[in-house]
Amino acid sequence: MKNGKSTLYEDLKRQILTMELDPDEALDEVILSERYGLSRTPVREVFRRLAGEGYLDIRENRGARVIPMNHSTLRNFFLVAPMIYAAIGRLAVQNFKQRQLIELKETQYRFRKATIDRDALAMAVENTRFHAIMGEMAGNQYLQPSLERLLIDHARIGYTFFRPNNEQMEERLDQSAGHHDLFIEAIERRDESSVVDLVFEHWELSREDMEMYIAPQGLKTDARVDIPGHSSSEKSS
């Protein structure tokens, strides 16, 4: 049974990943203390833990705030995401442990169920966990913090991808789940090249949907974030 402190921790993580809490939103220590039946000390401990994991920013005289998401962070996200995911994939193949593979399969089972149920929240949470396990498989202390930070913004930018509103989106979501199955198979047979190929195929599948979050229909072209590797003509086409 979860206590108030662990419930607060899980709730804040979920609310940040699903944009229920806006980027750079301030958290009210007093309100959260009352809501979860906690003194302010354990609330601050949860804040510090989430700050250490990259979810919150704690600064003197500003309190705890959700990490921001601006032009600079978005541009850097699109620049480095494929490179980090590819490096993680290579190392996961080389270093994974059987217990991690079992957990990856269990997470994929929950993700598949969420896609069938069209449960956007569960899909976002389980997708993030799936890629976090691959990071744990990689076992690299230099890449791990970068992946953890990347996954937070990936979830926030891509949350709309898990709320399919047309047949094409549903088909792409099913493709994404299929990629997860292929990741598991390739890791299990230690096929490094297949994992790396899948990384870029998987990335391309979600990239356009994430760009839609940055520039929804009706937003002027010149207001869009510059996406590395895409010319202005491609963006306006």
Asked if residue 60 lies in contact with residue 53, where contact means CB atoms within 8 angstroms, the answer is no
What pLDDT, on a 0 to 100 scale, did the predictor assign at position 181? 97
What pLDDT, on a 0 to 100 scale, did the predictor assign at position 237? 44
SS3 content of the chain, % helix, strand, coil (to 5): 75, 5, 25
Q: Which helix (H) or strand (E) holds 56?
A: strand 56-59
CATH fold label, 4-66: Arc Repressor Mutant, subunit A (1.10.10)
Q: What are phi and psi of 66, to 5 degrees?
A: -65, 140
What pLDDT, on a 0 to 100 scale, did the predictor assign at position 56? 95
What pLDDT, on a 0 to 100 scale, did the predictor assign at position 91? 98
Reported as a single tens digit per residue, the pLDDT across 179-189 is: 999 999 999 99
**Closest C-alpha among 173, 91, 189 to residue 134:** 91
What pLDDT, on a 0 to 100 scale, did the predictor assign at position 124? 85
Q: 148 in the Ramachandran plot: left (φ > 0), alpha (ψ -120 to 50) or beta? A: alpha
pLDDT of the chain, 237 residues: tens digit per residue: 568 899 999 999 999 988 899 999 999 999 999 999 999 999 999 999 999 999 999 988 778 999 988 778 778 888 899 999 999 999 999 999 999 999 999 999 999 999 888 888 888 889 999 999 999 999 999 999 999 999 998 888 776 556 656 566 778 788 889 999 999 999 999 999 999 999 999 988 877 666 655 554 444 434 444 445 554 444 444
CATH fold label, 71-218+225-231: Four Helix Bundle (Hemerythrin (Met), subunit A) (1.20.120)
> Range(s) for CATH 1.10.10.10 in the chain?
4-66
Amino acid at 119: D
The SS3 call for residue 226 is coil
> Range(s) for CATH 1.20.120.530 in the chain?
71-218+225-231
The pTM of the whole model exceeds 0.95: no
What pLDDT, on a 0 to 100 scale, did the predictor assign at position 82? 92
What pLDDT, on a 0 to 100 scale, did the predictor assign at position 180? 97
The gap from C-alpha 75 to its chain's centroid, in whole angstroms, comes to 16
The DSSP string of 178-197 is HHHHHHHHHHHTT-HHHHHH
CA distances from 92 to 112, 126, 140, 143, 153 (A): 22, 18, 9, 12, 21
Burial of 202 (0-12, 13-18, 19+ CB in 10 A): buried
